[in-house]
Amino acid sequence: MRRVVWAVAVVLAAAAALVLVTLVRKGPQKPPAPSEVRVLHYNLCGAAAACPWNSGGSGPGTSVERVVKEASAFAPDLITLNEICATQYDALLEQLKDSGRPMHGTYASSQDNVPNCGPTGAYGTAVLSRGPIDPGGPDYRRFSRTGDETYENGGRTVAVRRGLLCAPTRFDGEPLLACTAHTYAKAPEQLREIRDRLAEGPVSRETPVVLAGDLNLQPNEPALGFLYAHAPGPGGRPTGRFLEGDETDRTWASQGSTGGVVCTGGEPERCRNGEPTAGERKIDYTFADTRHFSGGDTDAKLFRESDHAMVTTVFTRR
């Protein structure tokens, strides 16, 4: 019996020594490197009179072709789109697939009487993701504050049904909520509705949130305080939870867009300003929640296909 006990003790000691040698060889575990989330946002001007070369089309020289070209170069994880026909959305998914960069997507229409958008006249917004989108999860919630906005075309006048489109997707195997909105300048309360919909509570604290869109308001406007997590100046009280893609770029702190906050006090870490996206104004934004993201490296490029700049941002996951 003593021999058996002694033999077992020898085996256990040898195993413990092997584990210790393995741990010593491996050394301390390094924390994983922070990952990046790449976001491309574009108001296509897909069927508006201001962009007659689009006219609901998706061939050469259109905004659809531009998105495919820039996606091939930028390699986005997420694409958010405004002013896009349903027919253009379908064509875009096919072209991305043919280019070797397939993406999953979801679409919502804000109106259905745009002649250039084909038989349905559907015109709205879209969210695309490199990761899968929960098929039962895409959510389009119309804003209750509409500003009584209507659109007249083809002999019909319809109420415009703007809203917030969100797609539950995955990034690096983890859940992520990607959203877009195209808000109405005369209904700034729509930004409050976005804040309330994306607050911690309606959205799990563990779920990262990315929001991008044409908000038709400039950084210094009070309604942006519903989204920005920092005040425009001393004494301000922001109620948002988001970092904007251009707010840490000091290049724009003392110049930037018309309607941007001029930050001249020393070297501010964050400033509600940024590169113009429509003429001299900044009205297109990329946001990520401050709980899960830091930093933000944004570029705005104006192409002939649209009257809005294409905004590309790289956020860093905490």
Residue 288: inside a domain: yes
CATH number of the domain that residue 278 is part of = 3.60.10.10
Q: How does pLDDT run across 48-58, given as a tens digit for each residue?
A: 989 999 999 99
Residue 125: inside a domain: yes
Q: Which residues contact 176 (CB under 8 A, 6 or more apart)?
A: 37, 131, 168, 169, 170, 207, 208, 209, 210
pLDDT of 69 higher than 70: yes
Structural domain containing residue 217: 36-317
Give the three-state DSSP class for 36.
strand
The domain total for the chain is 1
Q: How does pLDDT run across 155-196, given as a tens digit for each residue?
A: 788 899 999 999 999 998 999 999 999 999 999 999 999 999
Residue 230: inside a domain: yes
Q: How does pLDDT run across 106-162, given as a tens digit for each residue?
A: 999 999 989 899 999 999 999 999 999 998 889 999 999 999 999 887 778 889 999
Average pLDDT of every residue of the chain = 89
User: What DSSP letter does each residue of 61-105 carry, written as one string?
Assistant: TSHHHHHHHHHHHH--SEEEEEEEEHHHHHHHHHHHHHTT---EE
Residue 201: inside a domain: yes
- Dihedral (C-alpha) 307, 214, 177, 79: value to the nearest 10 degrees? 0
